[in-house]
Structure formats: structure tokens, C-alpha cells
Structure 1
Amino acid sequence: MRSALPPEEPNKPSGEGAEDAQPAASAAKGAEKDRENSTDKGAEKHTGNGGEATAEATAEATAEASGGGPGGEPSAADPAGGEEEQSGRRRLARSLWPPKVSRAQLTVALLLFVLGLGLAIQVASNSESSALRGARQEDLVRILDELDDRTQRLEDEKQRLDDQRTELENSSDQAEEARKQTIEKERQLGVLAGTVAAQGPGITLTVTDARGAVEADMLLDAIQELRAAGAEAIQINDVRVVASTYLEDAEGGVRVDGRKVASPYRFKVIGKPKDLEPALNIPGGVVQTLEKEQATVAVAQAEKIVVDALRRANRPDYARSSS
């Protein structure tokens, strides 16, 4: 009879293979135990140095153990660091653009803009008001002389009117004296109104415009300067200039009170020559303005100027004398 053999253990090594497997297993266990001991020793060493070990050192050790770079930073082979850097740049760009402005910032910007605009306007107005700042000394002296002469003329007119009043009050025949003064006043008003001819010292102003660049407003400026300098009678070519005179541009010339005059424009002006000529030659005045348009300007003084262009006296429709 055959006896039954006992069953074999399936995973139990036998012979030389079993002997070789047992040392390998014990070696693996020893390595794992050594690694645990080294970790515990490192922790104890950091703890023993005055308690200076921190969570950062522990994290660094963990990162080194897991294969990361020093300092816990990702290694070059790890793409997570590059992605985080790009994400940070995108967040920075989004925070800078588009700009986010608060209501307070807008209010301050608006106030600064208004302040700057006001300063610019103030500087421009100061520059315009100081047009004579760059004038020569002799020009400034001449302008002051003109102002003094104008003031003297007004004082003389005031004195003359005071004398007339005194004569009327002291005259034995007040009616006759009033009649004489009325005739004299009529003559003066006739000269101003252009209904009578006039003669006296003054100047002639000739403007030759070969290019046709002289406009009506330039001639009007000349008339205003002459009036301000004391001109008593003005005539342009064959048209008498009075208080109601108007000028407008026309083809090939200028219309004065509806009558066309062409170059050369000849002004006959009665007044004090020493006042009239400097008024035209002030810096930036009539002569310089016309010469900028390449017009030829000539001013000549004369002891006798005849203004003989007349205007018809128009009777007012509604106004009547109250005397």
C-alpha cells in the first residue's frame, strides 16, 4: 500500500532559492529602518539646536525627499512652476489694464484740468495786454506824448466851454452873444458832419495796394487811429468820412458809404501833424499792418490840407431841437 504524501506549502521557498530570498527581504527591511532612523535623527538634531527648526525646514526636507529642487521650488523638469509664473503675469496685466479709476480720482483730475485751463487763459490775457512790452524806449515815449496831448486837448475843450458860459453870463446883450456862439457851433458841427469844406494843417496818407490784399477793416483801423489822435476832418479819395461812415470789401477795392474806392487810397486828414503821424507808426500799428500785406504806405505832413468832399445834410425824421 502507498501512503499519502503531505501537501506542499505553495509559497514557501525551498532549497537554495529559499536561502537567497531570506537575506534579500531582511536587507530591504534594514534599509527602510535606516531611512526612518535617519529622518528621526535629523528631526531630533534640528530640535536640539535651541529649538530653531521651523516648518520651512521640514517642508524643504519633504521637498528634497520627494525629488523637488532645493528650497522647495519645483525642479526644471516640473512644468507647474512655469504655469504658475505665466498665471502671475496674466494677473498682473489684468490688474494694470484696463485701468480702474475711482470717482474721487476723476473729480481730482477734473479739478486739475479746470485749474490748468484757467492758468492758460490768464497767461494768454496777460500776454495780449502787454503788447507794448517789447517796444523800444523811443516808441513808448512817443505813445506817452500822444496820451498827454490828448489829455491837453480835452482840457482845452473844457476851458473853451467854460469861457463861453462865462461870456453868456457876463454879456450885456446875452441874445447877441448866444447868436454868435450858435453860428460858431454850427460851423464846427458842419465840419464834423461833412456838410462844409475845411482846411488846416494835417497829413496825407497814401496806401498803394498792388496785390489787392488790403481789406476794409484795415482802412477802418486807420480811421480809428486818426480820430483817436485828434483828427478833425478826414477824406478818403473823394468820399468824406463822418461819424456814420461804414466800410465794406468790394471786388477790386473797398466801398466807403456805398461808394467804391480803389487803390491807391489817399487820406486827407486835418489835425495836429505831430500827433497824427506817430499814431500811425506805433509798433504793431496801421503802417506795420499794411506793410505786412506788402502794401506801400507813405505819410507826409503839410501846413495846409484841404478837405472839400461834402455830404448832403439829411434832415432828421423825428428829432427836433428842444431850444
Structure 2
Amino acid sequence: MSKDDTPEEPKGSGGPEKPEGREKPEGPKGPREEPERPEVPEGPVEAAREPAPPPPPLTGRQRLLHALWPPRFTRAQLTMAVLLCVLGLALAIQVRSHSESSVLRGARQEDLVRILDELDNRTKRLEDEKRRLENQRTELESSSNQAAEARKQTAQKEQQLGVLAGTVAAQGPGIVLTVSDSKGTVEPDSLLDAIQELRAAGAEAIQINDVRVVAGTYFSGGAGKVEIDGRKISQLYKFKVIGKPDDLRPALNIPGGVVQTLQKEQAGVDISRSEKIIVDALRPAKRPDYARSSSQ
């Protein structure tokens, strides 16, 4: 190898290269170490605060309110609530239906027999009325003097309608119902119920004190101040009723009927039968303004 082929040494100071960077200053005894700087947290520096005072203790009512509101329901709780509502509704319907029929369920055998007898008597009265009307039609069709027979039946019908309309007096067997209301607790509805029961039992003529009861009779007022057709009636309330006593009296004494209702209102009730009841309170005969007989 020639001298010319010898590789050239790099130019420099001749020693190993020092790493780039900041050189530590040397002190009299060697390199001087820089003091460590404390780490500064990133972000804005907040001033030191004093600890907040503890909140005042909650009262019992506040704790209860905090536990109940806002409500926290799960799906299982909502399902259970719906089921309980449906069960309560079913129980309410069952109790109501039971209370409506408990009057007859708790009745004695004698009372049930009397009620059945009353229903049988009503059916018999309707059948008798049907037979009577059929006989009248047969007599009209077979009578040689149909005009005279028609006048006779018309007069009888007029008397019957007069009794029902209250334009003529009437007498016959029946009962007297006396209601004493010393405490003024009897409502007009209770007296109206008595009228309806008597009519259903076959009453043909009814008079309360000096007022004749007809189809258009109405009751008004309040407890202890009952008015019939706008006329105030005084106590005692005395019902004169013409009809079959054996049908009228049981109709008032059925379980849960008129007598028990009036006794619950602290009223005294007395029923007596008589073979001759006179109903003499009359109603004026009014000519209808618009209605006319279809035979004219």
C-alpha cells in the first residue's frame, strides 16, 4: 500500500466527539449540578380555600320526603300496582253486587214465601183483568142490543176512570198507613216509594191526608216539609188505601221495603186493615187542551 492510499483522519481536535447539548459548567472541584425545580401542575393555579362547613342535619320529615320523592319505580313495582288496582276494582264490584242482593239472601223463609205469594197474586190479578176485558168484548159482540150494552159498559168504565182520576169518591176494603215523623226526618222520596209499592200491590184509590193521589201526583220539599202537588201537608202522614188488604200489607213489610226504610229514618209506622175505607178527597175534572178522543 502506498502512502497515498492511507485514509485521511477526520479533522478535528483529535479526541472523541462530545455529545451535543448543554455542557455543565465545571466548578473548582468538578462539574456543578443544577438544583431540581419543583413540578408545577398544569392549568390555572387556584388559591387555597377553607373547607366548607358541614350541612345541617335533616329532620325526619325531610328524610321521609327525600326517600319518597322523586318516586323511583321499577317495572316489577308498576306491574304489581296495576294488578292491585284490578283486584281492588273486582272486590268493589263484588261487594256492591252482594250488598244489593243481601236483603233477600238474609231474609227468612217466611218472608220469601210471602214475597212469592205477592208475585203470584199480582199475576192472578192481571189474568183476571184480561179475562174481564175478554168477557166484555164477547158481550158486545153477542148482544142483540149492542148500543145499550155499549152504553152500560161505558158508564161502568166512566166510574172506574173517575176513581182512578180522582174525580169521584170511592169506598171499599183496604188499609190505613200512618207515618209519624216527630223528628222531621222523613224524605219525600220515602213517601213516593210507599205510593209505588201500594200501586204495584193493586191499590185502586189512595189519599194522603186531604190530597187525592192520582197518576200525575208529584212530591217535593225536604225532610219534615213534604209537599204533594205543591201543597204542604202536615204530619201525621195518613194514607187511606183501597185495595185487597192481604196484598197491600205484605207489600209494605217485605225485607228492605217501605216500613224498614221509614224506620231507619226514625219514623213511626202503623198499618191497620179495614173493610170500609172511604176516599173522599176529589180532583177537579180538567179538559185536556190538545188531546181528543180518536173516536170523534
TM-score > 0.5 by shorter chain: yes
Aligned residues of 2:171 and 2:276 also touching (Cα < 8 A): yes
Of 160, 165, 168, which residue of structure 2 is paired with 1:196?
Answer: 168
1:101–1:219 distance in 2 versus 1, CA, 3 Å: same
Normalising by structure 2, we get a TM-score of 0.71
Whether 1:305 and 2:272 are equivalent positions in the alignment is no
Deviation by residue 1:45-89 (Cα, 9 ceiling, x = unmatched)? xxxxxxxxxxxxxxxxxxxxxxxxxxxxxxxxxxxxxxxxxxxxx
Which amino acid in 2 is paired with 1:156?
A: D
1:263–1:106 distance in 2 versus 1, CA, 3 Å: same
Tell me which of the two structures has the higher relative contact order, counting C-alpha pairs closer than 8 angstroms and 6 or more residues apart: 2
Q: Which residue is 1:153 aligned to?
A: 125
Q: What is the CA–CA distance in structure 1 between the aligned matches of 2:160 and 2:71, rounded to whole Å?
A: 78
Whether 1:249 and 2:208 are equivalent positions in the alignment is no
Deviation by residue 1:26-57 (Cα, 9 ceiling, x = unmatched)? xxxxxxxxxxxxxxxxxxxxxxxxxxxxxxxx
Q: Which residue is 2:149 aligned to?
A: 177
1:267–1:121 distance in 2 versus 1, CA, 3 Å: same
The CA deviation at 1:310 is 0.3
Q: Which residue is 2:251 aligned to?
A: 279
Q: What is the CA–CA distance in structure 2 between the aligned matches of 1:275 and 1:193, rounded to whole Å?
A: 22
1:127–1:293 distance in 2 versus 1, CA, 3 Å: closer
1:98–1:165 distance in 2 versus 1, CA, 3 Å: closer
Aligned residues of 1:253 and 1:263 also touching (Cα < 8 A): no
Q: What is the CA–CA distance in structure 2 between the aligned matches of 1:112 and 1:211, rounded to whole Å?
A: 45
Q: What is the CA–CA distance in structure 2 between the aligned matches of 1:214 and 1:105, rounded to whole Å?
A: 50
Percent identical: 75
Q: What is the CA–CA distance in structure 2 between the aligned matches of 1:214 and 1:250, rounded to whole Å?
A: 8
Deviation by residue 1:167-213 (Cα, 9 ceiling, x = unmatched)? 11111122222221111111111101101100000000111111111
1:98–1:149 distance in 2 versus 1, CA, 3 Å: closer
Aligned residues of 2:181 and 2:267 also touching (Cα < 8 A): yes
The CA deviation at 1:304 is 0.4
Q: Which residue is 2:74 aligned to?
A: 101
1:267–1:106 distance in 2 versus 1, CA, 3 Å: same
The CA deviation at 1:258 is 0.9
Higher helix share: 1
The CA deviation at 1:296 is 1.6
The CA deviation at 1:290 is 1.6
The range that moved more, 274-283 or 108-117, is 108-117
1:223–1:317 distance in 2 versus 1, CA, 3 Å: same
Q: What is the CA–CA distance in structure 2 between the aligned matches of 1:271 and 1:281, rounded to whole Å?
A: 16
Instruction: State the secondary structure of the residue aligned to 1:131.
Output: helix
Normalising by structure 1, we get a TM-score of 0.66
The range that moved more, 241-250 or 231-240, is 241-250
Deviation by residue 1:103-130 (Cα, 9 ceiling, x = unmatched)? x874674366235414531442243134
Q: Which residue is 2:178 aligned to?
A: 206
1:175–1:107 distance in 2 versus 1, CA, 3 Å: farther
Whether 1:264 and 2:219 are equivalent positions in the alignment is no
Which amino acid in 2 is paired with 1:281?
A: N
Q: Which residue is 2:99 aligned to?
A: 127
1:189–1:106 distance in 2 versus 1, CA, 3 Å: same
Which amino acid in 1 is paired with 2:97?
A: S
The CA deviation at 1:245 is 0.4
RMSD between aligned alpha carbons?
2.1
The CA deviation at 1:287 is 1.5
Whether 1:318 and 2:290 are equivalent positions in the alignment is yes
Q: Which runs of 5+ in 1 are unaligned?
A: 1-93
Aligned residues of 2:174 and 2:276 also touching (Cα < 8 A): yes
Q: How many residues were matched structurally?
A: 227
The CA deviation at 1:249 is 1.9
The CA deviation at 1:294 is 2.3
Instruction: State the secondary structure of the residue aligned to 1:192.
Output: helix
Which amino acid in 1 is paired with 2:112?
A: L
Which amino acid in 2 is paired with 1:101?
A: T
Q: Which runs of 5+ in 2 are unaligned?
A: 1-66
